[in-house]
Structure 1
Amino acid sequence: MKQQPSVREFDEFLATVDYESTTFGEYLDHYADQVGDLVNTFIPEGTHPDMNRYLYGPLSRYSENGGKRHRPLICFAACRAVGGDVKRAVSAAAAIEHFHTAALIHDDIADEAELRRGVPCLHLTEGMGLAINAGDLGLTLVNGTVAFDPNLDDSTKIRLITELTEMTRRTIEGQALDIGWARDGRYDITPEDYLVMATHKTAHYSGAVPLAIGAIVGGGSEAEIEGLRNYGLDTGLAFQIQDDLLNLIGSEESTKKDFRNDITEGKRTLCVVHALQNSPKRDRLVEILSSHEKDPAILEEAAQIMQDSGSIDYARAYAENLTSIAKNRLLEILGPSSARDLLISMADWFVNRLN
């Protein structure tokens, strides 16, 4: 396993994070790798060499290919926005990222996916059993990371663990809807159904809880905590809608995963459920979604059906409206600061990734 930077190095890094004069995209680009290293210091090593070979090593390598790391980074920004010490947010931020890692491993297995961020999925490189086991380890790191943090008092730990437990349950609820609708061939799903699923599956852990936890450890008021939570729910939902759009009309390079595999997997995205209600070619769309089709020409046909039915424009407008309202609300909750401005920039980044 790779040599991890020292705690002192990370203290120095956190002290130099610049929340000023930068957009959210620049913030992620500049600090994602360093925060990834920080997160991965919480992955332990085994007491037997083969534990590292079969468990800790594969999880570490998977986590090193970690994307933008926006969840820990927005947790830090929320902590700063309420005037807190970012070092107190490190374990909770890492906990959420380890949950994300575990969820992706299990999600790829459930979806029978082949690529994650441009490389083969863990269940293909390590086998199904070891991949499930590594995902389970990621889940144990969620509450455990916070519970063993010497910088947090017991009451704060209990509150954070409660937040993380509820986050986990809600995400699993959303995943159950997503998988169940596909398994049962459900094409009666409405946009309202989708919004419930996506809010539970993504918005809580990708937006609401990182921001709320950052405010909690930062000593924010209850109004600030709940305001940031609601901001995260709205922007996290917009993030998922935009993620679905990227998979549909972005490019393989922009998604770093199988392009249009949401169609192959029959995902009930907002574009899909809107088209099912509005397209005269509904039956053909259902046929494609049910066939696990990988032919690029057929996938393009499905995307065109959604385009012609106005579903892509509908989804994009819904996400943009969510973030516009959310930004105005946040300005009323938080006082002026560079961290607040960065969080406002986050909303724009979430919905402009196609531009």
Structure 2
Amino acid sequence: METINDIIALTEQSPTSFEEYLSCYASKIGDILNAYIPSGSHPDMDRYLYDSLKRYSENGGKRHRPLICFAACRAVGGNMELATSAAAAIEHFHTAALIHDDIADEAELRRGEPCLHLTEGIGLAINMGDLALSLVNGTVINDPLLSDAVKVRVVSELIEMTRRTIEGQALDIGWARDGRYDITPEDYLVMATHKTAHYSGAVPLAIGAIVGGGTEQQIEALRSYGLDTGLAFQIQDDLLNLIGSEESTKKDFRSDITEGKRTLMVVHALQNSPKRERLIEILSSKEKDPAVLAEAVDIMVESGSIEYARTYAENLTSIAKNRLVDLVEPSDSLKLLISMADWFVNRLK
């Protein structure tokens, strides 16, 4: 099996932007990460579990979480091969989160394909998500390249990441279940930080720095940067669902309205729009009519909520970039991570 260092060595020129970095390495990195998914001891284990999970993971998106883990490792002068098991662990956690999230949300599409619970059934989909979760800590524990002390620290990070993500998911699902329309922007930020920012930014960067032998200052600087940019990523993802184009249609366009999601734009509009009651009516009805979904977006535009969310995400990344530059030595990998922040908030432009 190729290693991350083999793949980097085969590239004649280092990527100059985060988007190019993803484009160059996402597919090859996916092959390395998916190699950590085992096979069963009975053919039907593969049929009903392992093969389906592998196919799902092969349709893996941009792989930004493992790739920023590798970049952080390199930014502190570490050997990126040491970050492979941790990168795989984070990606398999992401897979589990998506499978379970789609079931909870009764979603229909994921990355342009029918959701796993629709193709395989809810029971098997839950089981596959559980399998992906089981790979998270075991992947790191079984890594012969890492010292026991590093394994314990990385696994502790992964355990805390899992708890925080589940806490955020509880808020997201609970608010929708209970018809909560008293949610404030501050409440949303707590939910999104827990549900997304830790595992999509802070922990991949911190773990990359840990296995790369970074100083405590470097580890915490990268963690803080990932927390801010990971939150901006979630806000932008929510924006894409409402007003994006090609990328959004692959994610069940405007499904956040159908599912009654309390996004930053929604909670801001609920506080500021004169059409609050109409927006609540739409959010409560599991509406799928494109015209009605467009009406909800118009309400958010008119109340300034779309621009509010976009500006909030841009300010987060601007401050985070300046702070990181002051704390981490300049390098090509640092430039990639700075470019990451711009990519996170410019996907609509």
Return the TM-score normalized by structure 1. Answer: 0.97
Structure 1 equivalent of residue 166 of structure 2: 172
Cα contact 1:252–1:259 (8 A) shared by 2: no
Partner of 2:143: 149
Structure 1 segment 102-181 matched on structure 2, within 5 A? 102-181=96-175
Question: For residues 72 and 325 of structure 1, do their structure 2 counterparts lie closer, same or farther at Cα, with a shift above 3 Å needed?
Answer: same
- Shift, 1:254, TM fit: 3.7
Instruction: Report how many aligned residue pairs link the two structures.
Output: 349
Find the counterpart in structure 2 of residue 329 from structure 1.
323
The match for 1:34 is: 28
| Identical pairs, percent | 77
Correspondent of 2:91 among 97, 106, 118: 97
**In structure 2, how many angstroms separate the alpha carbons of the residues matched to 1:184 and 1:24?**
40
Contact 2:4 2:84 in 1 (8 A): no
- CA–CA separation in structure 2 for the residues paired with 1:104 and 1:338: 32
Deviations 1:99-135 (Å, cap 9, x if unpaired)? 0000000000000000000000000000010000000
Aligned equivalent of 2:77: 83
**Compared CA separation, residues 226 and 123, structure 1 to 2 (3 A):** same
Matched, 1:218 2:196: no
SS in structure 1 opposite 2:61? coil
Are the counterparts in 1 of residues 228 and 316 from structure 2 also a CA contact under 8 Å? Answer: yes
Contact kept in structure 2, 1:264 and 1:294, CA below 8 Å: yes
| Alpha carbons 1:20, 1:339 under 8 Å: kept | no
1:255 CA drift (Å): 4.6
Letter aligned with residue 271 of structure 2: Q
Which residue of 1 is the match for residue 266 of structure 2? Answer: 272
Q: For the structure 1 residues 172 and 293, does the alpha-carbon distance in structure 2 shift closer, same or farther, using more than 3 Å as the test?
A: same
Q: Which AA in structure 2 matches 1:211?
A: L
Q: 1:19 to 1:334 in 2, by over 3 A?
A: farther
Residues 188-237 of structure 1 show CA distances to partners (whole Å, capped at 9, x for unaligned) of: 00000000000000000000000000000000000000000000000000
Partner Cα separation in structure 2 for residue 318 and residue 310 of structure 1: 12
Q: Is the 8 A contact 2:5 2:80 kept in 1?
A: no
Measure, in 2, the Cα distance between the counterparts of 1:16 and 1:347. 26
- Structure 2 counterpart of 1:24: 18
What is the root-mean-square deviation in Å for CA atoms of aligned residues?
1.1
Name the amino acid aligned to 1:303: V
CA drift of 1:12 comes to 1.5
1:229 to 202, 209, 223: 223
CA deviation after TM superposition for structure 1 residue 30, in Å:
1.1
Q: Aligned partner of 1:305: which letter?
A: I
Give the aligned residue type for 2:55: R
Identify the residue that residue 3 of structure 1 maps to in structure 2.
Answer: none
Cα deviation for residue 19 of structure 1 reads 8.0
Aligned-pair distance for 1:16? 4.0
Aligned-pair CA distance for 1:32: 0.5
**1:11 Cα deviation from its structure 2 partner:** 4.5
User: Would the aligned equivalents of 1:19 and 1:342 in 2 still touch at CA under 8 Å?
Assistant: no
Gaps of 5+ in 1: 1-5
Q: Give the 4+ runs in structure 1 shifted more than 6 A.
A: none
Q: In the aligned structure 1, how far is the partner of 2:191 from the partner of 2:251? A: 22
- 1:265-318 alpha-carbon deviations (Å, 9 max, x no partner): 000000000000000000000000000000000000000000000000000000
